[in-house]
Amino acid sequence: MPHTLVIVESPTKAKTITKFLGKDFKVLSSFGHIRDLPASKTGVDVKNHFAPTYVVPDKAKDHVKELKAAAKGMTDIILATDEDREGEAIAWHIAETLGLDPETAKRITFHEITKTAIEHALSAPRTIDMNLVNAQQTRRILDRLVGYELSPFLWAKVRRGLSAGRVQSVALRLVVERERERLAFKIDEYWTIDGEFIKDGIAFPGALFSIDGKKVDKLDIKTGDEAAKIVATLSGQKFEVTKIETKEVSKNPPTPFTTSSLQIEANGRLGFGAKQTMVLAQKLYETGRITYMRTDSVNLANAFLDETQAYISSEFGKDYAVGAKKYATKAKGAQEAHEAIRPTVVTATPEELKGTLESGMWKLYDLIWRRTVGSQLPPAKVERTAVDLDAAKHSFRANGSMVKFDGFMKVYHASQEKILPALAVGNAVDVTSVVPTQHFTEPTARYSDATLVKAMEEFGIGRPSTYAPTIATIEARQYVERDDNKKLFPTDTGMIVNDVLVEHFPNVVDFTFTATMENTLDEIAEGTVEWVPTLEAFYGPFHSLIEEKVVGVSREDIMKERILGNDPKTGKSVIVRSGRFGPFAQLGEWTAEDKKAKVPKPKSASLPKGANIDTVTMEEILPLFEMPRVVGKTEAGEEIVAHLGRFGPYLKTETLTASIPADYHPGTISETDARFVLANKEALKAKQMAPMADLGAGPDGNPVVVRNGRFGPYLTDGTTNVSVPKKLDPMEITLDVALAMLEKKRTSPPRVFPKKKSKT
């Protein structure tokens, strides 16, 4: 019988740890937080030293019941939640809920889930670190006070359902300011001229570098005519090598991964979003493949460094085993006692694990393994060459390089170096083409997950555990959306919320203030600053400002509008503005007097998805007032009508409805394009209706089939439907099994759901 209960926060983590412990131990999961502030009220007594009221949410009650039952009769209870502040807070909440004294409750932490690490942690338990708990409590209370006092203000002045948060609002500000920078950008035309050269059968490119000795800068060639004259001058000319510069450079290996650098690299190399990266990293950690994934340290354990050097020497040879490298963490407040994200076992190579991990996990593990091993390899040596090729007082430059020693690139960098042929000054080279290309200057790119995480880190906004949830929050709130390249841009609602906060609550979205608060939370965690005075210093001025703005700011002060001009047909002004249900266009004003006189409301239409009040044009707006619009007919003769609906523009016939893709405008989509959209929807509908498998006929002669539904595969005989359990492969179900499942569903009593209690 087990006499020691070990409590972790994740069932996967519990399963992994169980494999390392004997029959004397029982490992259970709390399934995350088991207590939190109540959802229906603030839960913070600001008049009583900000005392929080914690409750066990409904979803955690069964888990708490299980933990309490398991704790009875146990000799020891050990709290083994994650090693960060949130993990410490979860351990404290578990202790409080189980009636354990936090001053004596046994607490262990480990940076990796391996047998050695678990046994070492169990040999030296500590008590709960209340400084870490208080830092997490302070963050939670701060965010609750900001959210619960700012959100009602936004509901009253903008629309219901909006929210504001201490970190999410600053992240939103970054996205909004980047978009406004892009909108204000002035586009310039410019041309480049590229040549394709050949020597000894090897083709290589070169770009126009100078004319008559004067360097050609990016915007020097402004028109196609100028470019054409240069190309004409070079027609039929002989090119000669006039200058060769060779330089050997050393490229240093990268540092091991922190949370932010992992999110940045996984986004750039693998296309993973920040949230996806952290979900996969969590799985790798909980299954014992990598160390803890929320860290801002680049430190590596000495034992791991020794193992890595031995592995490098064995696999790559003595030229690569040049000694362990220690990296210093530059981030302020970083915990050097913690480690970077690394494999738990260096000899568990990606090649060995291929096929044992799901695709996304394997790709991320491969990246982490290569980055970690690469950090312990020597610098790469690269020879870079620049060659000038001249004709008719014009000079082209060809750049190339060659890896002399691959160093860390042996595992981490797939080199794509441009190789030049053997060239010497005075050599003649053949030119196969000289091509002018038109370009336009582009504004700074929108934020990707990677670049937004990098910006947040540089500003000191948030901490490793908050980057991914912050991006997920502003996206879930529909303050930002993603373009075709998965880059973030603000919605009209996001812009309005940001503008309100910047104008009326500047501290909430001030970069320096937010970073300073993060540093203060670090100091609370270190025990050098008290948490209650920190809350008092913030809340007093913040609450007073809220009260002032509730009275002093009207909805009309906030909700922006823009007059595009006059409608050519009616002469009425065309106005775009923000409303309670999003941005919309209106044809003509409608005053309070009009309303009193019962003058009909003017025509209005919601802006199409992706349209922005600041940039939408009259040409895009006017067709919206003609909705619904008859587009034409299908080949079968059914009328096709374009509508604007609650969820965007759509096409409707007698038998089919299909959303209009963003590539088309509901006011201008042609009959041909409408037929194409409807045909695609018809094909998709037919595919969805087609059964995954036909199992045969039932006793009544009706076919029994497996279909793919909205919530996954299900069985049906035309009258009864039953979901296929996840443990069953829908393509392996036999007719007998299917009939038994359908009969069980028919004879089972209907589910009865408890009635909601009246609030009165």
Amino acid at 356: T
Amino acid at 760: T
Per DSSP, which regions of 179-311 are E strands? 189-199, 202-211, 214-215, 239-251
Starting at the edge strand that comes first in sequence, how are the strands of the sheet with 629-633 ordered?
A: 629-633, 639-645, 648-652, 657-659
Highest mean pLDDT among 85-94, 576-585, 684-693, 716-725: 85-94
Q: How many CB atoms lie within 10 A of CB 256?
A: 27
Token pair 């919601």: residue: 606
- Cα R_g (the chain), whole angstroms: 32
Amino acid at 110: F
Does residue 215 contact residue 537 with C-beta atoms inside 8 Å?
A: no
Between 170-179, 266-275, 328-337, 501-510, the lowest mean confidence (pLDDT) is in: 328-337
Closest listed residue to residue 190, CA positions, set 434, 396, 442, 440? 440
CATH 1.10.460.10 fits 139-185+451-552, yes or no: yes
Token pair 């409807």: residue: 678
Q: How many CB atoms lie within 10 A of CB 372?
A: 25
Instruction: Determine the Cα–Cα distance for residues 473 and 461; give it in Å rounded to an integer.
Output: 15
pLDDT at 31: 92
Instruction: Determine the Cα–Cα distance for residues 12 and 23; give it in Å rounded to an integer.
Output: 19
Confidence class for position 162, pLDDT limits 50, 70, 90: confident
CA 55 to chain centre: 30
Encoding tokens for residue 432? 């196969």
Highest mean pLDDT among 82-96, 406-420, 736-750: 82-96
Query: Can you list the pairs that 320-323 forms with residues at least 24 positions away whose Cβ atoms lie under 8 Å?
Result: 320/377, 320/378, 320/407, 320/410, 322/377, 322/378
Active-site residue list? 292
pLDDT at 415: 56
Instruction: Determine the Cα–Cα distance for residues 588 and 602; give it in Å rounded to an integer.
Output: 6
CA 316 to chain centre: 37
CATH 2.70.20.10 fits 189-252+381-440, yes or no: yes
Instruction: Determine the Cα–Cα distance for residues 710 and 363; give it in Å rounded to an integer.
Output: 29
Q: What does CATH list as the number for 259-378?
A: 1.10.290.10
Instruction: Determine the Cα–Cα distance for residues 75 and 431; give it in Å rounded to an integer.
Output: 84
List, for residues 247-259, the tens digit of each pLDDT value.
999 999 999 999 9
Q: Judge whether residue 581 has pLDDT over 90.
A: no
Token pair 């870079």: residue: 384
Mean predicted confidence (pLDDT) in 21-34: 92
Closest listed residue to residue 659, CA positions, set 639, 680, 683, 638? 680
List, for residues 686-721, the tens digit of each pLDDT value.
766 678 888 888 888 888 988 887 778 899 988 899
Write the Ramachandran bin of 162: left for phi over 0, alpha for psi from -120 to 50, otherwise beta.
beta
Confidence class for position 753, pLDDT limits 50, 70, 90: low
What is the CATH architecture of 4-128? 3-Layer(aba) Sandwich (3.40)
Closest listed residue to residue 721, CA positions, set 741, 737, 703, 697? 741
Q: Judge whether residue 756 has pLDDT over 60.
A: no
Closest listed residue to residue 161, CA positions, set 584, 648, 493? 493
pLDDT at 687: 66
Greater confidence (49 vs 627) lies with 49
pLDDT at 751: 64
pLDDT at 335: 46
What residues contact 94, with CB distance under 8 A and at least 6 apart?
7, 30, 34, 67, 79, 81, 100
Between 431-435, 598-602, 755-759, the lowest mean confidence (pLDDT) is in: 755-759
Instruction: Determine the Cα–Cα distance for residues 545 and 442; give it in Å rounded to an integer.
Output: 40
H helix or E strand, kind and range, residue 524: helix 511-526
* CA distances from residue 468 to 139, 168, 198, 448 in whole angstroms, order as listed: 17, 11, 49, 12
Closest listed residue to residue 425, CA positions, set 240, 583, 684? 240
Q: Residue 101: what are its φ and ψ, rounded to 5°? A: -80, 115
Mean predicted confidence (pLDDT) in 745-749: 83
The angle subtended at Cα 291 by Cα 290 and Cα 293, nearest 5°, is 100
Domain ranges of the chain: 4-128, 139-185+451-552, 189-252+381-440, 259-378, 561-673, 693-747
pTM for the full predicted model: 0.76
Helix, strand and coil percent figures for the chain, each rounded to 5 = 40, 20, 40
Mean predicted confidence (pLDDT) in 329-338: 55
Q: Using a pLDDT cut of 70, give the percent of the chain over it.
A: 96
pLDDT at 663: 76
H helix or E strand, kind and range, residue 457: helix 449-459
Write the Ramachandran bin of 544: left for phi over 0, alpha for psi from -120 to 50, otherwise beta.
alpha
Instruction: Determine the Cα–Cα distance for residues 531 and 533; give it in Å rounded to an integer.
Output: 6
pLDDT at 369: 98
Write the Ramachandran bin of 271: left for phi over 0, alpha for psi from -120 to 50, otherwise beta.
left
Q: Judge whether residue 219 has pLDDT over 70.
A: yes
CA 368 to chain centre: 19
Q: Judge whether residue 164 has pLDDT over 90.
A: no
Token pair 């004879």: residue: 747
List, for residues 608-665, the tens digit of each pLDDT value.
766 778 778 888 888 888 888 899 999 889 999 998 776 678 899 998 888 888 778 8
Does residue 570 contact residue 588 with C-beta atoms inside 8 Å?
A: yes
pLDDT at 580: 67
pLDDT at 336: 41
Confidence class for position 760, pLDDT limits 50, 70, 90: very low
Q: Judge whether residue 414 has pLDDT over 60.
A: no
Mean predicted confidence (pLDDT) in 495-506: 91
Per DSSP, which regions of 601-686 are E strands? 604-606, 629-633, 639-645, 648-652, 657-659
Mean pLDDT score across all residues of the chain: 89
Mean predicted confidence (pLDDT) in 234-241: 94
Instruction: Determine the Cα–Cα distance for residues 173 and 710; give it in Å rounded to an integer.
Output: 36
Instruction: Determine the Cα–Cα distance for residues 667 and 689; give it in Å rounded to an integer.
Output: 31
Does residue 404 contact residue 383 with C-beta atoms inside 8 Å?
A: yes
CA end-to-end distance (rounded Å), the chain: 49
List, for residues 129-145, the tens digit of each pLDDT value.
999 999 999 999 999 99
Q: Which residues pair with 577 in a beta bridge?
A: 561, 584
Mean predicted confidence (pLDDT) in 385-414: 92
List, for residues 474-488, the tens digit of each pLDDT value.
999 889 999 888 999
Mean predicted confidence (pLDDT) in 240-251: 94
